[in-house]
Amino acid sequence: MHSSFLNKALLSFPAFKQANRSTLEALASSARRMVLSPKQHLFHMGEAAEHFFWIERGGLIMYLPSYNGDEKVVQTLEGGCLVAATVMFSDNRDYPLSAQASARTVLYRLDREPLLDMARHSPAFAYTLLQIVSSHVVHAINRIDLLTITNATQRLVTYLLDLYREHGSAWITLPASHAVLARQLNMTPENLSRTLGAFRRAGLIGGRNRELVLLDVDAMCRHARLPPPGPKFASRHSVAAQDSALFRCCSLH
């Protein structure tokens, strides 16, 4: 049965560690396995949100559709992530984003009521949930701050510096493809590729594809006309953590 396997997976999340074990088992027992093909939708924005999900493997692109056909990518999720958990606590339970598989994706559909029972009967779970939702508000503010930077190069450098803080190293891994990352940073893929290429030619970064090394952080900041990071730069809290927490939404991470 998948319930024992899923129960262990859910316990990796701080909030569920505070939950009553019998209630957690009821939640895991409610799960139904699903498989999505690449580009298949899990749900669309505005649909009634009766379930949340846990991704076993594969990935989802969370995006906002627009009237002109453009898709504004808000977040990318990979195996091990929860999807739309915090939406379950809303009175107006519509999915605020659309979710599309980025590859063949295996996930589990979880029922809403056992999750609400946890909050009703476990003060520790409810308190942890409030902490997580509060952090989402902070990250949303950080995201607004980043995206209101009018200069695309500065947006990219700010994002790379946050990944530096997350990894604690000049060696970083981009959490999404160049195409998806460009949409997250409100850039065109061509502009992103050109800017990264210019950084390489200037000796500011190295590496290939999604694996990069920041060779000269101060020079990169000067190139983007940003102030260089301070002496405590590497120890500061990163807003890019966990698949870019800057773009985190609707989950219990």
Instruction: Reply yes or no on whether the pLDDT at 19 is more than 80.
Output: yes
Query: Which residues 6+ apart lie within 8 Å of 50 measured at CB?
Result: 93, 112
Examine the pLDDT at 117 and tell me if it is beyond 60: yes
What is the average per-residue pLDDT within 24-38? 93
Residue 165 has pLDDT above 80, yes or no: yes
Mind listing the pLDDT tens digit for each residue in 203-253? 999 998 889 999 999 999 999 998 888 665 554 444 344 333 433 455 655
Distances (CA, A) of 192 to 25, 167, 182: 45, 21, 6
Q: What is the pLDDT of residue 130?
A: 86
> What is the DSSP track for 182-207?
HHHTT--HHHHHHHHHHHHHTTSEEE
Burial annotation 168-197 (CB, 10 A radius, 16+ → b, else e): eebebebbbebebbbbbbbbeeeebeebbe
Structure confidence at residue 199 as a pLDDT band (50, 70, 90): very high
pLDDT of residue 143: 67
pLDDT confidence of residue 221:
93
Domains of the chain from N-terminus onward: 1-122 (2.60.120.10), 150-241 (1.10.10.10)
